[in-house]
Structure 1
Amino acid sequence: MGMRRTATIGLILVAGMALAGCTGELSGSPTGSPSPPASTPAPTAGTHGAEADEALLPMPVDEIRDWAETAVPSAGTDGSSPILSGWLSEHTSAHHTTDLKSQEAGAYQAQLACRGDGILTLAAGELDEEPSAEPIVCENETIAFDITTAATGMRIVMDLEGAPTIYALSLQRMG
Structure 2
Amino acid sequence: MAMRRAATIGLILVAGIALAGCTGEPSGSPSGPASGSPSPSASTPAPTSTGDAADADEALLPIPADEIRDWAETAVPSTGAEGSTPILSGWLSENTSPHQKTLLQSQEAGAYQAQLACRGDGTITLTVGELDEEQPSAEPIVCANETIAFDVTTAATGMQIVMDLEGAPAIYALSLQRMS
TM-score, length-normalised on structure 1? 0.79
TM superposition shift of 1:36: 2.4
Cα distance in 2 between the residues matched to 1:173 and 1:45: 36
Does 2:120 match 1:132?
no
Amino acid at match of 1:107: A
The answer to whether the Cα contact below 8 Å between 2:30 and 2:49 also exists between their aligned partners in 1 is: no
1:100-119 to structure 2, matched below 5 A, reads 100-119=104-123
Residue in structure 1 matched with residue 94 of structure 2 by the alignment:
90
Taking a change above 3 Å as real, the CA distance of residues 105 and 170 of structure 1, as seen in their structure-2 partners, is same
TM superposition shift of 1:47: 1.9
Q: Please point out which of 25, 32, 47 is paired with 1:37.
A: 25
The answer to whether the Cα contact below 8 Å between 2:26 and 2:99 also exists between their aligned partners in 1 is: no
Amino acid at match of 1:80: S
Greater radius of gyration (CA): 1
TM superposition shift of 1:42: 3.3
% of aligned pairs identical?
70
Does 2:59 match 1:59?
no
Amino acid at match of 1:121: T
The answer to whether the Cα contact below 8 Å between 1:25 and 1:65 also exists between their aligned partners in 2 is: no
Cα distance in 1 between the residues matched to 2:13 and 2:70: 11
Residue in structure 2 matched with residue 79 of structure 1 by the alignment:
83
* CA offsets 1:40-84 (integer angstroms, 9 cap, x no match): 623897421010000000000110000000000001112101100
The answer to whether the Cα contact below 8 Å between 2:91 and 2:170 also exists between their aligned partners in 1 is: yes
TM-score, length-normalised on structure 2? 0.77
* CA offsets 1:133-171 (integer angstroms, 9 cap, x no match): 110000000010000000000000000000000000000
Q: Which runs of 5+ in 1 are unaligned?
A: 1-20
Amino acid at match of 2:25: P
Amino acid at match of 2:23: S
Cα distance in 2 between the residues matched to 1:75 and 1:149: 21
Q: Which runs of 5+ in 2 are unaligned?
A: 1-8, 32-47
Does 2:149 match 1:144?
yes
Aligned length: 151
Amino acid at match of 1:155: Q
Across the aligned residues of Structure 1 and Structure 2, the Cα RMSD in angstroms comes to 2.7
Taking a change above 3 Å as real, the CA distance of residues 58 and 119 of structure 1, as seen in their structure-2 partners, is same
Residue in structure 2 matched with residue 49 of structure 1 by the alignment:
53
Cα distance in 2 between the residues matched to 1:26 and 1:59: 22
Residue in structure 2 matched with residue 15 of structure 1 by the alignment:
none
